[in-house]
Structure 1
């Protein structure tokens, strides 16, 4: 690992980044795409045409239909979630969990009749959203892996700050005319320092979100 503390941190910074870098790249790309989750879902389900705003009575009726469906099909579930219809998503979304480690149950109902909504079989933007923190794996396994990778990334960030004693001076150093390796290292330093506050914030809050 090296003879000095800073050399040890450089070794830790390099290997912690290499080990989880590819997983984190997938997490970041799908997390960015999740900002457009609703738009992607609407694009992939053109049959869900925008509806007029629902009246309070219609919303109450939709909630009753959702509860009735859950009592029939998920009476032993630990938790229920009911998403009421909205003008840009005019169906009742039902979601329930039976026990930890098992895939959740889902259903979409017509808010007027309570029958299953006729929608093409695609998860739309929800696939990207859940892949962001579950990697399309059983929930507990996926969240443990992403949480572990986030903790290793936090180690990489802290060790990187310790490694670069001239971290802010490096931000203004970009020797493009030198050797290619030197230029890439300078680019790494510049972009790393520029995005450091965001990376620290997104990594820490992600760990806190998955902690429970």
Structure 2
């Protein structure tokens, strides 16, 4: 009788300690899973916020949070997005119709070519500075025509174009019978160096 009682008691102790081990392991897995989620950006993190000067640090943001930030980006102003971890710096301006203008005026690497891109609200390229199929492009800064200062033929217009941008209210880009209009708030950000790869 004692022998059976001892075996029953020992098996109960083993089962209970096994339960504790399973419980410890599973709670450790939960904590590890939460850490992994936060490292890869699956945890609950906020979208990067744009400060009063129009600058946002996107270094630790996930792709999903960057998309969320782009959707909620204010219109009519320049926003400088810096990502020190990846070494990517962009300058963008969202129009009221959802189009996005990316300017590459001052390249971080001086040997790279300046340019611009206009994308629709779905991220599809509409107009690119150095695309031969784009056709003729005209920049109107407060309705003064600068042609396409990003075109190598018109390179001498670039200094006057940059100067006009400092105080301009609107930038209009005319291409293929379409007019794209962007407000020029936070124009001081146009001096910031950006990544110029297309």
TM-score bracket for this pair, using the shorter chain length: under 0.3
User: Which protein is richer in strand relative to its size?
Assistant: 2
State the structure with bigger RCO (CA 8 A, min sep 6), 1 or 2. 1
TM-score in terms of structure 2 length: 0.25
* Bigger radius of gyration: 2
